């Protein structure tokens, strides 16, 4: 019990609390294994079903991808869904690519972003400046 109290106090004193997201696009459980197997060079895995979700993304005129972060929220059917929030730039090294250097085929079809979730004090807002993006999968280009 004392250890838990110390953890809570330390979290509050740090001005933000970091908790892992415990949600993903639960509308697509068929993609769980795909999410878990996403990787970038030098990493065994960059993502899991717990930190990936479909997103809106766009390739901007400067040649860089931008995508929207997500915030997990409870839905009416006792599951967690993602609500899209802030747009963020995607660093090139975060894009999941195949051995040919091209973005991998996307089983979800739509763009996917994987990131942690950092809640501001109070737990109702995401601190977008503290979020770490693990990887990004380009949507299927038509």
Q: Which of 50, 46, 11, 19 is nearest to 126 (CA)?
A: 19
Distances (CA, A) of 100 to 41, 95, 109, 123: 12, 13, 20, 42
Percentage, residues of the chain above pLDDT 90: 29
Q: pLDDT at residue 138 above 50?
A: yes
**Mind listing the pLDDT tens digit for each residue in 89-131?**
999 999 998 888 888 888 888 999 999 888 888 878 888 888 9
Could you state, in order of their start, the residue ranges of all structural domains in the chain? 17-137
Mean pLDDT of the chain: 76
| pLDDT value for 87 | 95
| pLDDT value for 141 | 67
| pLDDT value for 31 | 81
**C-alpha to C-alpha distance for 56 and 136, rounded to whole angstroms:** 11
Q: pLDDT at residue 20 above 80?
A: no
Residue 117's contacts (CB-CB under 8 Å, 6 or more residues apart) are 19, 20, 21, 51, 71, 72, 126, 131
Looking at per-residue pLDDT, the higher value among 5 and 123 belongs to 123
Looking at per-residue pLDDT, the higher value among 74 and 116 belongs to 116
Structure tokens at 62: 């400067």
Locus of tokens 């915030």: 71
Distances (CA, A) of 8 to 13, 15, 20, 48, 71: 9, 11, 15, 26, 22
């Amino acid at each position: 019990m004392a250890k838990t109290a110390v953890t809570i106090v330390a979290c509050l004193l740090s001005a933000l609390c970091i908790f892992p997201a415990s949600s993903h696009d639960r509308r697509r459980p068929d993609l769980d294994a795909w999410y878990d197997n996403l990787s970038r060079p030098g990493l065994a895995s960059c993502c899991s079903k717990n930190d990936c979700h479909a997103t809106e993304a766009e390739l901007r005129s400067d040649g860089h991808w931008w995508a929207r972060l997500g915030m997990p929220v409870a839905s009416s059917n006792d599951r967690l869904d993602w609500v899209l929030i802030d747009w963020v730039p995607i660093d090139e090294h975060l894009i999941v690519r195949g051995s040919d250097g091209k973005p991998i085929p996307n089983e979800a079809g739509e763009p996917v972003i994987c990131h942690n979730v950092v809640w501001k004090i109070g737990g109702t807002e995401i601190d977008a400046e503290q979020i770490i993006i693990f990887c990004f999968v380009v949507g299927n280009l038509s």
